[in-house]
Amino acid sequence: YIPPTVTGLFPVGGPTAGHSLTIFGGWVSSLPPYQLACKFLNGDVVGGTSSPHNNHTVCLPVNQVLGSSTVQLSLNRVDYSEPFAYLFYQEADPRSISPHGGPITGNTAVTITGKNFIGIDNFTKNETVCRFRLNQVDLVIPAKVLSETQLVCVTQPRQAGPYVVHVSLNRQDFPDPPYEFQFYTDPVITAISPTSGPLAGGTVLTLT
């Protein structure tokens, strides 16, 4: 058979505990599908499943060693493709979010605090994201990782409502716990009373 041609991976990194890895490429083979496999740098071999058109394979690596690795694809579990670089990291552990809401016009800097926000930005850019979800509709926003314990996402315009927020270091795995963020309509001030007061302060203002 013609050896597989691997053209890319998604994601290019994932948590050590386990996740789904898609290998893109192309091949033609009449071998039974149970022969399809992915092999990692530590020697672990994981069975894979292919798409109907053989243009990608999905593997599920689990309990891997933290750090840089490689992945190779085989159609017979003996002969493997050239290795592709891959990274295993500790899963993000978000603990708090601030603020808990912002206007529907967006541009609110949302800070999420926790641990293991190492990201994989040194491995590939723009993979760490925040996902805002309402009624199964997602808004995925690139995150700026400030440190291992803090990251920031700036909201974009969205309809009002309570959104569930997750963090991902690879755009695919969004670990719990989620947090709620409320998009709201900005208040409109139509009147203020009184319109003046003494320098000493103490005046009660009424906003309408």
Question: Tens of pLDDT along 41-97?
Answer: 888 888 777 765 656 788 888 778 888 888 888 888 888 888 888 888 888 889 999
CA angle 96, 113, 92 (to 5 degrees): 100
Sign of torsion over alpha carbons 52, 54, 56, 59: positive
Each residue of 3-28: pLDDT tens digit? 777 788 888 888 888 777 887 776 65
**Secondary structure letter of residue 80 according to DSSP:** B
Q: H/E element holding 150? A: strand 150-154
Beta bridge partners of 177: none
143 compared with 31, residue with greater pLDDT: 143
pLDDT at position 29 is 56
The average confidence (pLDDT) of the chain is: 84
pLDDT band at 174; cut points 50, 70, 90: confident
pLDDT at 26: 63
